[in-house]
Amino acid sequence: MAEPTLLPDSTRLHLRLLDASTSTIIAIVATTSPEAACPLCQRSSRRIHSHYVRQIADRPWMGCAVRLELHTRRFFCVNKDCVRQIFTERIPTVVAPYARRTTRLTDVFTLIGFALGGEAGKRLAAGMGLFTSPDTLLGLIRAQPASLIPPDPPPVVPKRDQRTLPPDIRQEIVNLAAEYPAFRPHEMATICFVKFGHQPSPRTIKLVLATGPKPSRSRCIAPFHEITDSFARRRAIIQLVNSPKG
Ligand SMILES: [Zn+2]
């Protein structure tokens, strides 16, 4: 960081007078260069057209607001081919064209905006003797190159409720119940574990059967109690386990 100096750029500004009230310090300064470059054609000119004064806020001093009364000039462009006949001198190390605060004060506001945002930044600035608005601070952040703005945090992905069964398991439970009403919850839980690697509790299965969804398959096996042969019963279970999902 550059060494702090009273004036934003002591090589380009001359301090004529320093005046102070109880809450404000006014520095009357003037530009020192005998010439200025036309912003359009870059040709230097010493032909002064007129003088004018800009009121520019600067960094505070010990909590007191500092205002620069900047005496600056307009020049004639000496380039006959240039369409800009008159231009105002630029002092980019001090203040941007048409700005009402110094570049270094803008830097302070930008840092405050990045650190605290609009509302809290405004309160901190007020404590330093600076007056700004949340919109101003946020506007300075938006004006920065995109590379300086930290990326948005990744979107918050809600954790899946572990109590909620995936839809395919819920569908399988109601299908099993529709295909074979004699299955008891723990038997359906076993089938779900074999097919999906997830074993819902009997209580969950009862809840799914009470709340849906609707079955997507119809009965394909005879009711369990009508199958008298024990081998056929086991085969029916294996058939249900190996049936396609959904
Ligand atoms: Zn020019």
Q: Which band of pLDDT confidence, cut at 50, 70 and 90, is reported for residue 71?
A: very high
Could you give the CA distance from residue 239 to residue 234 in angstroms, rounded to a whole number? Answer: 9
CA 102 / ligand 1 centre spacing (Å): 25
What is the pLDDT at residue 62? Answer: 82
- β-strand 48-61 against 13-20: which pairing, if any? unpaired
Ligand 1 center to residue 31 CA distance, Å?
20
pLDDT attached to residue 23: 81
**Which segment of 58-62, 65-69, 83-87 scores lowest on mean pLDDT?**
58-62
Count other Cβ atoms within 10 Å, centred on residue 102: 24
Between the CA of 67 and the centroid of ligand 1 the distance, in Å, is 31
Token reading at 75 = 């020049």
Measured in angstroms, how far is the CA atom of residue 58 from the centroid of ligand 1? 30
What confidence tens digit (pLDDT) does each residue in 201-231 have?
Answer: 888 888 888 887 777 766 666 666 777 777 8
Query: What is the DSSP secondary-structure string of 69-127?
Result: EEEEEEEE---TT-S--EEEPPBTTTB-TT-SB-HHHHHHHHHHHHHHHHHHHHHHHHH
Residues in the chain: 246
61 closest CA partner among 1, 107, 2, 4: 4
Dist. CA 45 → ligand 1 center (Å): 9
Distance, CA 83 to ligand 1 centroid (Å)? 7
Q: Could you tell me the distance, in angstroms and rounded to a whole number, from the CA of residue 50 to the centre of ligand 1?
A: 16
Q: pLDDT band for position 152 (50/70/90)? A: confident
**86 CA to middle of ligand 1, Å?**
8
Q: Would the pTM of this model clear 0.75, i.e. be above it?
A: no
CA of 98 relative to ligand 1 center, distance in Å: 19
Q: What residue spans define the domains of the chain?
A: 10-101, 103-143, 167-242
Distance 40 CA to ligand 1 centre (A): 5
Least confident range from 26-30, 68-72, 133-137, 170-174: namely 170-174
Tokens of 36: 């200025």
Q: Which amino acid is at 117?
A: G
User: Quick one: pLDDT band at residue 149, thresholds 50, 70, 90?
Assistant: low
The pLDDT value recorded for residue 162 is: 54
Q: For the CA atoms of 232, 238, 239, 245, what is the dihedral angle to 10 degrees? A: 160
Helix (H) / strand (E) containing 205: helix 202-211
Q: List the single range of 36-40, 52-56, 60-64 with lowest mean pLDDT.
A: 60-64
| Lowest mean pLDDT segment, chosen from 13-27, 112-126, 154-168, 170-184 | 154-168
d(CA 131, CA 143): 19
pLDDT exceeds 70 at position 124: yes
Is residue 30 a contact partner of residue 13, using CB atoms and an 8 Å limit?
Answer: yes
Q: Are 55 and 100 in contact (CB under 8 A)?
A: yes
User: CA dist 63 to 23, 58, 129, 202, Å?
Assistant: 8, 12, 5, 70
> What tens digit of pLDDT does each residue of 155-194 get?
776 565 556 778 888 888 888 888 777 788 888 888 888 8
Q: Mind listing the pLDDT tens digit for each residue in 97-110?
A: 889 999 999 999 99
Q: Whole-number mean pLDDT of the chain?
A: 85
Is residue 181 within 8 Å of residue 223, measured between CB atoms?
yes
